[in-house]
């Protein structure tokens, strides 16, 4: 009996994933929950387990292919019982005519093997994602890539030209604030509904369209007289998710950035002395670890920077712990994994956690769990030779600290001019949550520790 495994819903409202690599080939025998593929979501690379035990008969997708949730990716030859409703769905396994909506739910497969169920499948609760399609609106089962053109266009043509574009009141309010004409948009939501993402995406189009030449497939664009070569790459996975998150953050939270330049020579001397300290043998202490520890201490004195604005609940959420996000540049784009309960770690533990977290991010093995739940972040722009910047907040956080490069500069020291190691800190914060004075006190506390590590004794 042939069973088709369709790309599962990996959660978080993600609708597509890219096949990175297959771990099996046609003809291979696999066991239940054996890892069969690596897929990259907008969050991280995920290992995909097999929901069946049997023989691989066909790989429907090649590595590098972006697959939508519900599309077939691999087929198995399985002996025994009937196909579980949660494992197979499609035109070849049609439900009773009276229950077309339930077949759509069957396309969304859970992680790993699921026990077989009898009777009507349990309908999954609708998520808050604006582009989520309710099961009742799609029948029969069709691959997501083919739904939008087929279902939206006829409805759009049937509507009178003077009718108001289909959207919700919050989306119309957002469009008015951003100056976007809804009549110029084509909705990507259920049955053509215009979503927040459609409105925000429109902001970047006018300038690009004015400057752009007619779109030409990169494979057919041959350089000629007066024409320069160009390469076009699809926007996928992590970079696509990061771009959407940064746009959402920039247009949602009112950003303010404050700067502080300090003499960190005492901190650099401390780091040098720790290299010969037995308590820190085998642990590499760098400036980022010391800054991270200073930030955690400063948060305890300035808790307003460790908060979140909950628009839905109409509340300010105060975190009594620090899940410290560390922005990491990776070949797949920017990731911000976090260290849980960083405020409870000593300097050596924090340095070890930073090293492991950064290594995992660059290797592409960051877990999806480590990318969620951050409360405040650090971005180390100094490693790229940058002195300062205005970092954009990680969505859902009130502050982010940019650590600049360390320079040997003439600096006032004990009443004289001397060459000192100087660094600039840049703090961006959400002005809805943090006032200028609160941000300044937080930044000054961090600077005081880095300028004179002994100041910690006055803060704890």
217: its two tokens: 């497939």
User: What DSSP character marks residue 167?
Assistant: B
Residue located via tokens 């390469």: 231
| Separation of alpha carbons 285 and 447, rounded Å | 18
* Residues 6 and 70 sit within 8 Å (Cβ to Cβ): yes
Q: Within a 10 A sphere around the Cβ of 176, how many other Cβ atoms?
A: 11
Residue 68 annotated in active site: no
Q: How far apart are CA 257 and CA 415, in angstroms?
A: 30
Pairing between β-strand 338-339 and β-strand 399-403 as defined by DSSP bridges: unpaired
Return the structure tokens found at 191. 């049955």
Q: How many CB atoms lie within 10 A of CB 243?
A: 16
Instruction: Report the alpha-carbon distance of residue 290 to residue 450 in Å, rounded.
Output: 8
Tokens of 362: 């660059």
Pair 275, 268: CB distance under 8 Å: no
What tokens appear for 49 in the block? 């387990």
Residues β-bridged to residue 19: 39
- Annotated catalytic residue: which of 60, 68, 255, 431? 431
Phi, psi (5° rounding) for residue 123? -80, 130
Known catalytic residues?
Answer: 431
């Amino acid at each position: 009996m042939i069973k088709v495994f369709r790309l599962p819903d990996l959660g978080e409202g993600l609708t597509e994933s890219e096949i990175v690599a297959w771990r099996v080939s046609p003809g291979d025998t696999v066991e239940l929950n054996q890892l069969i593929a690596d897929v990259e979501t907008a969050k991280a690379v995920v290992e995909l387990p097999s929901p069946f035990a049997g023989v691989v008969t066909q790989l429907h997708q090649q590595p590098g292919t972006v697959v939508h949730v519900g599309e077939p990716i691999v087929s198995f030859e399985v002996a025994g019982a009937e196909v579980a409703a949660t494992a197979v769905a499609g035109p070849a396994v049609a439900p009773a005519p009276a229950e077309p909506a339930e077949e759509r739910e069957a396309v969304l497969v859970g992680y790993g093997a699921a026990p077989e169920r009898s009777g009507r499948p349990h309908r999954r609760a609708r998520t808050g994602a604006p582009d989520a399609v309710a099961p009742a609106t799609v029948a029969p089962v069709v691959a997501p890539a083919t739904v939008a053109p087929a279902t939206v266009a006829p409805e759009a043509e049937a509507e009178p030209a003077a009718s108001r574009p289909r959207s919700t009141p919050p989306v119309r309010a957002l469009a008015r604030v951003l100056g976007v004409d809804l009549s110029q948009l084509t909705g990507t939501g259920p049955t053509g509904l215009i979503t927040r993402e459609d409105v925000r995406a429109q902001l970047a189009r006018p300038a690009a369209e004015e400057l752009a030449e007619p779109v030409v497939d990169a494979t057919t664009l041959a350089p000629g007289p007066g024409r320069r070569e160009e390469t076009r790459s699809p926007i996928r996975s992590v970079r696509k998710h990061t771009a959407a998150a940064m746009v959402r953050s920039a247009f949602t939270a009112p950003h303010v950035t404050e700067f502080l330049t300090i003499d960190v020579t005492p901190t650099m001397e401390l780091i040098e002395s720790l290299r010969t300290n037995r308590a820190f043998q085998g642990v590499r202490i760098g400036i980022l670890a010391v800054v991270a520890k200073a930030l955690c201490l400063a948060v305890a004195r300035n808790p307003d920077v460790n908060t979140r604005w909950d628009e839905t609940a109409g509340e300010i959420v105060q975190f009594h712990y620090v899940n410290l996000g560390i922005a990491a540049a990776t070949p797949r784009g920017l990731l911000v994994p976090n260290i849980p309960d960083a405020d409870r770690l000593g300097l050596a533990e924090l340095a070890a956690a930073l090293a492991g977290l950064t290594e995992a991010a660059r290797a592409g093995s960051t877990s999806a769990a480590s990318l969620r739940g951050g409360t405040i972040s650090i971005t180390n722009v100094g490693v790229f030779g940058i002195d300062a910047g205005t970092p954009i907040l990680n969505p859902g956080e009130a502050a982010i600290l940019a650590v600049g490069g360390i320079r040997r500069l003439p600096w006032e020291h004990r009443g004289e001019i001397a060459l000192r190691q100087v660094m600039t800190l840049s703090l961006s914060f959400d002005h809805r949550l943090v006032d200028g004075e609160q941000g300044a006190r937080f930044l000054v506390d961090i600077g005081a520790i880095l300028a004179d590590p002994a100041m910690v004794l006055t803060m704890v």
